[in-house]
Amino acid sequence: MRLAVVGAGWAGMAAAVAAAEAGAQVAVFEAAHASGGRARRLVLHRPDGLSCTLDNGQHILIGAYRETLALMQHVGVPLDQALTPLPLTMAYPDGHGLRTPDWAATWPAPLDLLAGIVGARGWTWTDRRALLATSLRWRRDGFSADAGATVADICHGLTARVIDELIEPLCISALNLPGAQASGAVFLRVLKDALFGPAPFGVSLAMAAPVRSSTLLLPRQDLSSLLPDAAERWLLERGHTVHLGRRVDAPVRHNGGWHLGDDPARAPFDRVIWATGAAAAAKGLMTVAPNWARGADALEHTAITTVYAWAPAARLPSPMLALRGGPAQFAFDRGQISPNEPGVQGIMALVVSASQGERQWLQTAAIAQAQTQLGIRLLPLQTVSERRATFACTPAVRRPGAEVASGLWAAGDYVDGPYPATLEGAVRSGQAAVRAALA
């Protein structure tokens, strides 16, 4: 069977590997000259003339990303060298906040989380009791909520401190929306898998610290080399093809197959997995599936901005810290995360999820915020804004399904599925599309 994948992002490459493993002959088409989609490398130039490799946006993985971790390992990525594990933490520069202690890292879930709650600095016993009671209520209810409920709705009973210092940062990093707008049902599903899920079995995680479903995994490598580059090599070594810089505008159905170019004499593909972003998919598939395309086009999107700044010789107390007051929610010390990467020492990534406003204003405000809270002087290097970074995961949002037409399937983190717009959601979507297409 000849199968084409349009788009070489994380969903597309996951689909391509899955199809190849199932015995299909795979061809990948990517309009850009590098794979990775919205999670790809970025070369940044420092004022002192040195260059370093970063990303078009700071990402983190967690231990609950079982399919992503298994795929990375399958295509030859050494996880112990590619990822820096951290226990679940939501610590602030002043030392306050939740942090799972090292001595509880081997405890079974949710006892490790319980230890973090009990030891949370700056919290009162009222804060701790409220979070424990609410967590037990969520677990008793099977981590489910009405489709129309927001995260704010499901958090009744929590104190303002717990909401401000834990729930809001978790919600906005996972769903890219504040709690008053985000889907409570999806948020609970993420919490269930991340905080109460099993360890990522089937994946060898030979790391310095035990890896739990809640473990934060910070990429030491750029996002292109973390999976897309390795998947491309894996495909090429097995006789499949990857066409970079090759735009496919729309598929054409002809004689029972699909053509992806202007040459009708070229052998058609039996199946096509369309793995571009929602806007490109809506445009490219309008002629063959107008109803599906209109559904994809109707999705609202939210932005993420990453401000890269430089503080020579600076080092944060932790590789990742939460920030208060906005616009940025987190600061990442890239020098600690990637100690062997040339040129990243002193570079900080300030992440503004659900970002709104002009890029220059966001950069100025985030740097001022970080300088005040981190106590270091920062020089702006580059600011990257992904205006359509994620679909808006609002209550009861209607996402397009994977099946577009006979022999044509869609994959991407916006396609209907259990997770918000995350790397794990993209990988699972690609794999699910292939299973359906080859069934």
The predicted pLDDT at position 130 comes to: 94
The predicted pLDDT at position 205 comes to: 60
Per-residue exposure over 240-267, b if at least 16 CB sit within 10 Å of its own CB, e if not:
bebeeebebeebebeeebbbbeeeeeee
What are the tens digits of pLDDT across the range 282-325? 999 999 999 999 999 999 999 999 999 999 889 999 999 999 98
Measured CA to CA, the distance from residue 209 to residue 195 in angstroms comes to 17
Q: Point out which residues pair with 89 in neighbouring strands.
A: 99
- 26 token code pair: 């795979």
- Tracing tokens 């490398």 back to the chain, one arrives at 41
The predicted pLDDT at position 108 comes to: 65
Q: For residue 319, give the amino acid letter.
A: P
Domains and CATH numbers, the chain: 2-39+224-300+394-437 (3.50.50.60), 41-61+301-391 (3.90.660.20), 85-195 (no CATH)
C-alpha torsion sign, points 97, 316, 386, 17: negative
The predicted pLDDT at position 210 comes to: 66
Q: For residue 434, give the amino acid letter.
A: V
100: helix, strand or coil: coil
Q: Point out which residues pair with 301 in neighbouring strands.
A: 391
Measured CA to CA, the distance from residue 295 to residue 403 in angstroms comes to 13
Close Cβ partners of 265 (under 8 Å, ≥ 6 residues apart): none
Measured CA to CA, the distance from residue 413 to residue 429 in angstroms comes to 7
Query: What Å distances lie between residue 384 and 169, 221, 309, 359, 380, CA to CA?
Result: 20, 18, 12, 8, 12
What are the tens digits of pLDDT across the range 378-437? 999 999 999 999 999 999 999 999 999 999 999 999 999 989 999 999 999 999 999 999
Low-confidence residues in the chain, pLDDT < 50: none
C-alpha torsion sign, points 179, 184, 186, 192: positive
Q: For residue 322, give the amino acid letter.
A: A
The predicted pLDDT at position 103 comes to: 66
The predicted pLDDT at position 199 comes to: 61
Tell me the DSSP string of 378-400: -EEEEEEEEEEEEE---TT--PP
Query: Residue 355 carries which DSSP code?
Result: E
The predicted pLDDT at position 208 comes to: 54
